[in-house]
């Protein structure tokens, strides 16, 4: 049986990185965090899901996956623990709701301004392109991170010959599945059941709920088969955008800019113009 090619950057040898980049100069950066995703899912679901999806994309179409970023999100604004008025979620951890009360992050600068998270992402993007990759696809497993990731992409490509773009995944397939995406529901749970079944336990989807109706909906609708289906749709979209961006950078024809995420078009055009001026 043929040995499976590595795609996780931190596990690769230098010659393996060079060979993978020569075949497909695309890098993936998963983003996530730690957050309650029901009693039936792991708390690191966002980053675990994003990394597993990125690995699947890279295995299907080439590229490498850099280690995920788990930290830096606004925990007091965009995490379920912060909106746990009844203390049900805190109780699942065996804690009091005081642990997640307003102010529990003690004035962390990351709570005050998303620019800190954006700057961290830009730092990572510069590190990634130092290894010679031309397109970086940022997979925001934690949905509130998408605007921050897109802002980082906008700032990043102002003076680079490479381009980064960001996605969650569900928004890319809304034309096929209008109700795509959820928090801890059938969408995310199905993806986990397919990608990381070892981190899902549907038997725990019972009892008091931090989100009303969550357990019943998950038990009725989540499946590994559905996870495989939606992952396949997202793989097609992400692969298409990566291919179009590579083509646009190297041969800037107008048709190349017809991609799902319109904000990245400006960056591709800017890079194409820069390369033309430099005679590349």
Residue 258, pLDDT above cutoff 80: no
CATH code, domain carrying 216: 3.40.50.10310
Report which of 236, 229, 226, 144 is spatially closest to residue 185, judged by C-alpha positions.
226
pLDDT of residue 256: 47
Q: Is the pLDDT of residue 267 over 60?
A: no
Give residue 171's pLDDT band: very low, low, confident or very high (50, 70, 90): very high
Give the least confident one: 108-112, 252-256, 262-266.
Answer: 262-266
The reply to whether 3 falls in a domain is no
pLDDT for res 249 = 79
Q: Higher-confidence residue: 74 or 184?
A: 184
Report the pLDDT value the prediction gives residue 155, as an integer from 0 to 100. Answer: 84
> What pLDDT was estimated at residue 270?
54
Handedness of CA 136, 157, 142, 232 (dihedral sign): negative
Outline where DSSP puts E strands in the chain: 26-31, 64-65, 135-140, 163-167
Please give the pLDDT value at position 160.
Answer: 61
Inside any domain, residue 4? no
State which residues form the domain around 49: 9-277
Longest pairwise C-alpha distance within the chain? 65
pLDDT given at position 110: 82
Say if residue 161's pLDDT is above 80: no
Q: For 207-242, what is each residue's pLDDT tens digit?
A: 888 888 999 999 999 999 999 999 999 999 999 999
pLDDT at 159: 55
Burial tier of 67 (Cβ tally within 10 Å: 0-12, 13-18, 19+): middle
The per-residue pLDDT of the chain, averaged, comes to 89
158 lies in a domain?
A: yes
The pLDDT score that the predictor gives to residue 207 is 83
User: Does residue 65 lie within any of the structural domains?
Assistant: yes
Number of neighbouring beta carbons within 10 Å of residue 14: 8
- 160-185 average pLDDT score: 92
Q: Classify strands 135-140 and 26-31 as parallel, antiparallel or unpaired.
A: parallel
Per the domain annotation, does 1 fall within a domain?
no
Asked whether the beta carbons of 64 and 18 are under 8 A apart, the reply is no
* pLDDT of residue 261 exceeding 50: no
Going by C-alpha positions, the residue among 170, 225, 206 that lies closest to residue 49 is: 170
Q: How confident is residue 272, by pLDDT bands cut at 50, 70 and 90?
A: low
Q: From CA 88, how far away is CA 247, in angstroms rounded?
A: 50
Instruction: Among 64-78, 201-215, 266-280, name the one with the lowest average pLDDT.
Output: 266-280
Residue 176 clears pLDDT 90, i.e. is over it: yes
Find how far residue 176's CA is from the centre of its chain: 20
pLDDT of residue 265: 47
Percentage, residues of the chain above pLDDT 70: 88
Residues in the chain, total: 280
Q: What angle do CA 97, 98, 99 make, to 5 degrees?
A: 85
Per DSSP, the three-state class of 34 is coil
Residue 49 counted as domain residue: yes
Q: Which pLDDT belongs to residue 32?
A: 97
What's the number of domains the chain is made of? 1
250 pLDDT band, cuts 50/70/90, is confident
Instruction: Judge whether 217 lies within some domain.
Output: yes
- For residue 135, is pLDDT > 60? yes
Say if residue 271's pLDDT is above 80: no
Can you tell me the distance from the alpha carbon of 45 to that of 222, in angstroms, rounded to the nearest whole number?
A: 15
Instruction: Convert 145-200 into a string of H (helix), E (strand) and C (coil).
Output: HHHHHHHHHHHHCCCCCCEEEEECCHHHHCCCCCCCCCCCCHHHHHHHHHHCHHHE
């Amino acid at each position: 049986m043929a040995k499976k090619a590595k795609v996780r950057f931190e596990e690769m040898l230098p010659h393996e990185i060079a060979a993978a980049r020569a075949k497909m100069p695309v890098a993936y950066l998963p983003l996530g965090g730690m957050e309650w995703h029901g009693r039936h899912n792991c708390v690191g679901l966002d980053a675990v899901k994003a990394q597993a999806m990125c690995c699947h994309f890279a295995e299907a179409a080439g590229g490498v996956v850099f280690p995920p970023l788990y930290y830096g999100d606004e925990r007091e604004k965009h995490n379920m623990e912060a909106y746990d008025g009844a203390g049900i979620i805190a109780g699942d951890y065996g804690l009091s709701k005081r642990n997640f009360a307003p102010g529990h992050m003690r004035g962390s600068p990351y709570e005050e301004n998303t620019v800190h998270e954006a700057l961290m992402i830009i730092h990572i993007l510069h590190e990634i392109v130092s290894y010679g990759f031309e397109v970086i696809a940022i997979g925001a497993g934690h949905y509130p991170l998408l605007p921050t990731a897109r802002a980082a992409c906008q700032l990043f490509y102002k003076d680079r010959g490479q381009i980064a773009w960001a996605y969650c995944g569900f928004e890319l397939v809304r034309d096929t599945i209008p109700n795509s995406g959820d928090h801890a529901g059938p969408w995310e749970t199905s993806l986990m059941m397919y990608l990381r079944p070892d981190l899902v336990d549907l038997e725990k989807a019972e009892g008091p709920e931090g989100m009303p109706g969550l357990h019943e909906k998950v038990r009725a609708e989540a499946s590994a088969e559905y996870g495989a289906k939606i992952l396949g749709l997202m793989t097609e979209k992400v692969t298409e955008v990566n291919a179009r961006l590579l083509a646009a950078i190297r041969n800037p024809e107008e048709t190349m800019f017809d991609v799902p995420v319109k904000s990245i078009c400006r960056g591709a055009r800017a890079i194409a113009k820069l390369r033309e001026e430099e005679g590349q």
